[in-house]
Amino acid sequence: MRLRIAAGLALLALSAGCVTTYREDELEDRLERLAAATRELHKPRVFPIYAETRMTALVLLAEARSSRDSVLSATLARSLAAAHQRHRDLVTGGSFPDLTDQVVRNALELQGEQGLPGLQLLVASAEPPSAELLGAARRARVRVLHRDFR
């Protein structure tokens, strides 16, 4: 019986994506530590992409996919512009790589033709940035760094 329970729990963990989620303050602390440990960054600011659960992340992802200027994407876009204006770099990321990738891509696409030349953006995610995100960064003239974030 214990073996069946253990197997069921393992299957449940696999179907949930084996994602480690953090409380919002934990996520921000982890991003702050990552920012401090990355020497290439200039006075980095942190923007956590937080979702309490996978279900919340899926809802936010659906919103970001359906509207490039979703609330989360537009807020990150404003933070990117503010960081650029103040000659600072930005660190962002979260527990859900698909959500992080979509929101960052949207925020970069919202920058317009002038882009954000010279800005460095560290994306903390369990998966590397997608080709689409890297393309959006190239068009926005933003240098993207990636750090594994599990």
Residue 2 included in any domain: no
- Supply the pLDDT for residue 126: 94
Residue 36 included in any domain: yes
Q: Which residues pair with 91 in a beta bridge?
A: 46, 122
Q: Is the pLDDT of residue 2 over 90?
A: no
- 95 lies in which domain range? 20-148
C-alpha distances (whole Å) from 103 to each of 5, 39, 47, 51, 110 are: 37, 25, 11, 12, 11
List pLDDT tens digits, range 61-113. Answer: 999 999 999 999 999 999 999 999 999 999 999 999 999 999 999 999 999 88
Confidence bin at 3 (pLDDT 50/70/90): very low
Rounded Cα distance between 133 and 93, Å, is: 13
Q: Are strands 90-93 and 120-125 parallel, antiparallel or unpaired?
A: parallel
Residue 25 included in any domain: yes
Give the 3-state secondary structure of residue 58. Answer: helix
Residue of 3, 49, 42, 39 lying closest to 149 (CA atoms)? 49
- Supply the pLDDT for residue 22: 63
Residue 127 included in any domain: yes
Residue 105 included in any domain: yes
Give the 3-state secondary structure of residue 92. Answer: strand
Q: What is the pTM of this model?
A: 0.84
Counting the structural domains of the chain, the total is 1
- Supply the pLDDT for residue 20: 54
Confidence bin at 21 (pLDDT 50/70/90): low
Residue 26 included in any domain: yes
Better-scored residue on pLDDT, 25 or 133: 133
List pLDDT tens digits, range 106-138. Answer: 999 999 889 999 999 999 999 999 999 999 999
Cite the DSSP H helix spans in 16-112: 24-37, 54-66, 71-85, 97-109
Residue 138 included in any domain: yes
